[in-house]
A = this chain, B = another copy of it.
């Protein structure tokens, strides 16, 4: 039987990892597949020290791989959203199936890529784009296909979760832990994508479209990072029975879809609150299955390669039965013509409960003023704690008032915060962290 030829474009961490898994597990994979996978082409500018590849055609021109008639499946593992985009479109127009780990590209240009793939009757698979080795794309697209998905929530950025876990367990400030994470290789030199939630927004955008059957709308995702979280907030949340996690959350209701990435308080006893360090986890709630959780390594050469190669196997299994008239397993889980534009709620329309940390001058009547403003805005208080002045701080008269509210629309909370900050006794810069109730 003819082997299936694979062209790997990009031989960085994920590319070389995928090459390694394809070689090492060749026999196991053939036992599953009944066919042999063969890495026939590699496009790389130059092999790095220590990188060894066997009898493979090596080129520094990835486009030539996309055009080579001998290549059946092209792995786009270059990254970025410009050249990688052109490369994938070229591969598609040459009738090649594509596997990519590129979350930024799928979140940004996925709609166009899937359209081109369908027109050319090829598969574009992207399991590795979200949550590394956890097969969450397959779970949403196939495993839970009987369900109306109600909501999903995930820890989908390992760097951010590592930083929050360390801040929590060792009471250390964000900047210190970030520096340490950079030293350990858990955070990039420019950590913006990870700590400001952009990477998580890419992944959430993909998960949300798969769950609810909409086109991808990265531009409508609300994104907030973890750089403003302090060890005090983690401590106060703990006292109130919560952990703070950086979650991507998407849910659907009659009002529309919310699509938001931000730090959030979650009850300590929730399983997802116990997911620590660089690990990822995604909770998915379907109308029939209820709550399910998927946990594993969200990054790294081998876990990501696990997803890339699983996609290759999937494509190989489907190679001989591509049918033009119908999408056997559509890229976003729903048939293209069944995708529905659905309103994505601006953050101001989202309803949730809040944690507020308000620094106030320790004067008579200030608490009464605060509760009055909340009451006027119909924001009810679930819990309140008051903390003595921080002797080490600059302002020896400031005390912290921590308030947990019941659910309220974000726009109303914004208005209330503006009014609170206008009080003489309230210092500016009220900390506001959303609270998520998950029905695990």
A interface with B by C-beta (< 8 Å): 17, 21-22, 24-25, 28-35, 127, 132-135, 138-139, 142-148, 213, 271, 274-275, 286-297, 300, 302-303, 305-310, 312-314, 317-318, 320-321, 323, 326-330, 333-335, 338
Contact = CB atoms under 8 A, between A and B. Distances in A.
Nearest to A286: B306
B321 A328 contact: yes
Nearest to A327: B34
Given A32-B145, A142-B314, A338-B32, A309 B288 contact: yes
A248 to B, nearest CB: 18
A237 to B, nearest CB: 19
A289 B303 contact: yes
A297 B306 contact: no
A420 to B, nearest CB: 38
A262 to B, nearest CB: 24
Given A146-B306, A334-B31, A295 B293 contact: yes
A414 to B, nearest CB: 35
A21 B288 contact: yes
Most buried by B among A145, A275, A297, A314: A145
A252 to B, nearest CB: 11
A290 B145 CA distance: 26
3 smallest beta-carbon distances between A and B, as pairs: A135-B143, A321-B321, A146-B309
A110 B307 CA distance: 29
Given A288-B25, A306-B289, A327-B34, A135 B139 contact: yes
A290 B271 contact: no
Contact of A25 (B33, B146, B213): B146
Contact of A290 (B303, B308, B310): B303
Contacts of A134: 289, 292
Contacts of A293: 293-296
Contacts of A317: 328-329
Contact of A274 (B34, B274, B292, B310): B274
Contact of A292 (B133, B271, B288): B133
A162 to B, nearest CB: 16
B146 A305 contact: yes
Contact of A142 (B138, B148, B292): B138
Given A33-B145, A34-B326, 17 more contacts: A21-B146, A25-B287, A28-B148, A28-B213, A32-B145, A32-B333, A274-B274, A289-B306, A290-B300, A293-B293, A293-B295, A295-B295, A318-B321, A318-B328, A320-B323, A321-B321, A321-B328
A274 B272 CA distance: 11
Given A138-B138, A146-B309, A333-B32, A133 B327 contact: no
Given A143-B135, A146-B309, A294 B292 contact: yes
Nearest to A292: B296
24 contacts: A21-B147, A21-B288, A22-B146, A25-B146, A28-B147, A28-B148, A31-B334, A31-B338, A34-B330, A34-B338, A133-B290, A135-B143, A138-B138, A138-B142, A143-B310, A146-B310, A289-B303, A290-B300, A291-B296, A291-B297, A292-B296, A317-B329, A321-B321, A321-B323
A143 B133 CA distance: 9
A360 to B, nearest CB: 38
A140 to B, nearest CB: 10
Contact of A271 (B213, B271, B334, B335): B271
Nearest to A309: B146
A33 to B, nearest CB: 8
